[in-house]
Structure 1
Amino acid sequence: MELSLTRLAGTESSERLLVVGPSLGTSVDQLWRACAQVLGPEVEVIGWDLPGHGHGKPVGEAFTVADLADEVSARTVALANGRPTGYAGVSFGGAVGFELASRDQGPFDGVVTIGAARRIGTPQMWWDRAAVVRRAGTAVMVSGSAQRWFAPGFVERSPDVAGGLLRALVEVDDESYARACEALAGFEAGAAVTPVRVLMGEHDVVVPLDGADLVLAGCGHLPPAEAPELVARVLLEEMRCPTTTA
């Protein structure tokens, strides 16, 4: 499986590399670009898309969170070119982050997970959602996602941001979305070897807040879109970069 990569900020000559991952149902560009732009020119930000999401090529075969972590790791080795390198992922992208952190060797100096846990939901929940999407398409997920993704009042305050993310959900390939659900059904991360920082939105209803190292005030499940400046500041601190651009 070859993941689609998108440069969201910086260049190959930037001092540091940050690889970012998306939430299920989102385009990495829409989820992360505003946050990436705040990070400033010293950080090259490269995002990857889930299969059938954003620029990702649709798939019809099963894949696992570990498969995606393999691909993210291999692609990052080629991109890093000796630079300090970090990873940050939201929800499904955070699950990939936990998987990356559980490995003895890899290209990342540190991992930040956002709105994620070592197991997200229950296997049956994900199998049921996969069946619903195969039957009715990703459009059936819009109403529930609008409630799960955002903090109270965000849709009204930022209709362009919320609307763009929800429209992208409708465009996701149905079978690829279902396969991603099945990947989460089989996912449970092992113990971390690489340092991990766990961030949660204050109003996240998808994952329990008791696992958080830091709770992001005023955010729901998608903090990089809801509060890009806040998330950028935390990431710059994690990467030990100057915070003047945040």
Structure 2
Amino acid sequence: MTVPEITPTLLSAGGAGKPVLLAGAGLGTGAQALWIDAVPFLADFHVVGLDLPGHGASPASAETFTVAELATAVANVVEKLRASGDIEAAAPLYYAGVSLAGALGLQLGLDYPDLFKGIGVLCSGAKIGEPQAWLDRAETVRNSGTPTMVVGSAQRWFAPGFIEANSEATTRLLHTLQNADRFAYAHACEALAGFDVRDRLGKIGTPVIAIAGGQDEVCPPPFAEATAAGVRNGRAAVVASAAHQAPLEAPEETAKLLREFFLAA
């Protein structure tokens, strides 16, 4: 195992003094495809997208990694962005991630408690699914490629009727899945298989907003409620119209929840 590389993508340029929001995309998705529709409603922030290894702009991982190693990769990105001047060293820093990237937010709260002033955990939880199911999926994708996941993911990711009403947005996200590196996708599945911080939530002191999609069968609203109740300073919210990709399905409502929570924090 080793710390993988994550490549940041500028989604919106902030002015001097603006807070910075790192926006993470989950398994099979990309930051540009997932977050770009929400960016206009996050005008208070300088928004930087983060892709998982082998997804979007990030290079493929060479070996298995843990969620804790992903957290170190994010901390490395922050250090590089500050050193290069791409984000101001004194700018307040926030994080929001979906699904695996939401779980990554909780890991960041545990391992880097002073890095972020607020964390958004979207369509996620302190444990997602069962380990063997993730290991089985990793093996399937390693052998047969990510296109084998497209049909099932489309069924899980979006609320009923969303694909038909929003073909451009859903096609954009599903293309990211189809183009993801099969081995990096498998590594991410293995990371999820080993992730369970339910008994450590009370150690997270960073303010956390846990947002669930009201129609999410992968991480339903009780996941968000448990996360918010478990951390020291948490709030749960539900985007009723969304399933598992809230920033794409309900960009304005999702952005509003993040913006109000972060700026209040």
Task: Give the TM-score, by structure 1 length.
Answer: 0.93
Cα shift at 1:104: 5.9
Letter in 1 for 2:70: L
How many correspondences in the alignment? 240
CA distance in 2, matches of 1:97, 1:158: 28
Identity of aligned residues (%): 41
Question: Is this contact kept in 1: 2:20–2:92, CA < 8 A?
Answer: yes
Name the SS for the 1:34 alignment partner. coil
Question: Is this contact kept in 2: 1:103–1:194, CA < 8 A?
Answer: no
Cα shift at 1:14: 4.8
Determine which of 36, 39, 58 is the counterpart of 1:36: 39
Which has the higher mean CA deviation after the structures are superposed, 99-108 or 166-175?
A: 99-108
1:118 aligns with 2:118: no
Which has the higher mean CA deviation after the structures are superposed, 6-15 or 162-171?
A: 6-15
CA distance in 2, matches of 1:208, 1:171: 27
Cα shift at 1:235: 1.2
Per the alignment, residue 153 of structure 1 pairs with 161
Matches for 1:155-170 after TM superposition, within 5 Å? 155-170=163-178
Matches for 1:173-188 after TM superposition, within 5 Å? 173-188=181-196
Question: Is this contact kept in 2: 1:50–1:56, CA < 8 A?
Answer: yes
Matches for 1:1-246 after TM superposition, within 5 Å? 1-11=4-14, 13-40=16-43, 42-77=44-79, 78=82, 79-103=87-111, 105-189=113-197, 190-191=200-201, 192-212=204-224, 213-240=236-263
Q: Specify every segment of 5 or more residues in structure 1 that has no aligned partner in the other structure, as ranges.
A: 242-246
Q: Relative to structure 1, is the Cα distance of residues 131 and 104 closer, same or farther in structure 2, using a 3 angstrom cutoff? A: closer
Q: Specify every segment of 5 or more residues in structure 2 that has no aligned partner in the other structure, as ranges.
A: 225-235
Q: Relative to structure 1, is the Cα distance of residues 104 and 51 closer, same or farther in structure 2, using a 3 angstrom cutoff? A: closer
Letter in 1 for 2:120: V
Structure 1 runs (4+) greater than 3 angstroms displaced = none
Name the SS for the 2:209 alignment partner. strand
Question: Is this contact kept in 1: 2:71–2:108, CA < 8 A?
Answer: yes
Cα shift at 1:37: 2.4
Name the SS for the 2:191 alignment partner. helix
Question: Is this contact kept in 1: 2:7–2:77, CA < 8 A?
Answer: no
CA distance in 2, matches of 1:117, 1:225: 19
Cα shift at 1:195: 1.7
Task: Give the TM-score, by structure 2 length.
Answer: 0.87
Name the SS for the 2:135 alignment partner. helix
CA distance in 1, matches of 2:15, 2:72: 22
Give deviations 1:28-71, integer Å, cap 9, x for gaps.
Answer: 1100111122211x310011111110111012211111111112
